[in-house]
Amino acid sequence: MRTSIFALAPLASAASAARFILHIPNTPLVNPSSLLSTTHATLQSSGAPLDSYITRSNSFNFNNVSVGSYLATIHSRDYAFEPLRIDVTLEEVVEGSGDQREKVAAWQTFIGNEWDNKGESRGEGGNGLVIEAQPRIPKVYYQERAGFSPLSFLKNPMILMGLFTLIMVFGMPYLMDNMDPETKAEFEEMQKKGVMGSGNTNTAQQIQNFDLASWMAGKTDTPPSGTSPAPQSQGKKRG
């Protein structure tokens, strides 16, 4: 029984042997003529995969492909290609005529997905179908060495925070000194009111400690909240 099947197998494959071409189009990403001669495509179904190397016309020729569903992968050193699903079937030309022809159909497929989960169609037709195979991304094998650059050094948040504190500690007193007296007074007034600095918490505290009685009594003084601007007084002393 088994021998008869084996005897029939070559006959069947000879009777239904499709041929098609996988072609790499010229895209902005890659000029296919620059691909290495080791670029090749494999058709995997059962047993050893069918293998075809790139030709001068940037294509892979597959002859004598028997009926089945194949996973087509293009292996290139420099680019990653999308995997394809290629189905070779026998279909009657005219229904009921018994005259069968090969039909080749190609779709996108996704690794790690169900086989029936087909993507976009990549072509369909009879023998000699040309299927376009798209390169997706160039392969980058090397890791960039993170060399020393002052900019990346400055981008570090810790360094930025340190620098900011440094500026505040040393820079502010000088800034205060160089202000003309009027602005300075205004600024101090503003700080007292709590617009600058920790203004928000100040307002919150003000609301919390709101002295209704004194307000009713018509007191106009700002309440002596605990946040007297300490750095300001220090700065004054130094100057």
Structural tokens at position 51? 């293998």
- For residue 109, give the nearest of 69, 158, 78 by alpha carbon: 69
HSE, CB side, 13 Å, CA atoms: give it for residue 73.
12
Residue among 225, 232, 228, 230 at smallest CA distance from 203: 225
Report the residue number, 7 or 137, with the smaller CB distance to another protein. 137
> How far is 60 from 40, CA to CA, in rounded Å?
7
- The residue (of 52 and 102) whose beta carbon lies closer to another protein is 52
Site string for another protein, 14-33 (x = CB under 8 A): --------------------
Q: Which is nearer to another protein, 52 or 173 (CB)?
A: 52
Q: Quote the DSSP letter at residue 174.
A: H
CA geometry: angle 128, 95, 131, nearest 5 deg: 20
Question: Which residue's structure tokens are 């369909």?
Answer: 124
Instruction: Give yes or no for residue 69 binding another protein (CB under 8 A).
Output: yes
In angstroms, the CA 169 to CA 163 distance is 10
Candidate residues 61, 202, 205, 227; the one interacting with another protein per rule CB under 8 A: 61
> Site mask, another protein, residues 126-155, x = CB under 8 A?
----------xx-xxxxxxxxxx-------
Stretch that binds another protein, among 81-89, 98-106, 152-160, 194-202 (CB under 8 A): 81-89
**Does position 111 bind another protein by CB under 8 A?**
yes
Q: Residues interacting with another protein, by CB under 8 A?
A: 36-38, 40, 42, 44-49, 51, 53-56, 61, 68-71, 73, 75-77, 80, 82-83, 85, 109-116, 136-137, 139-148
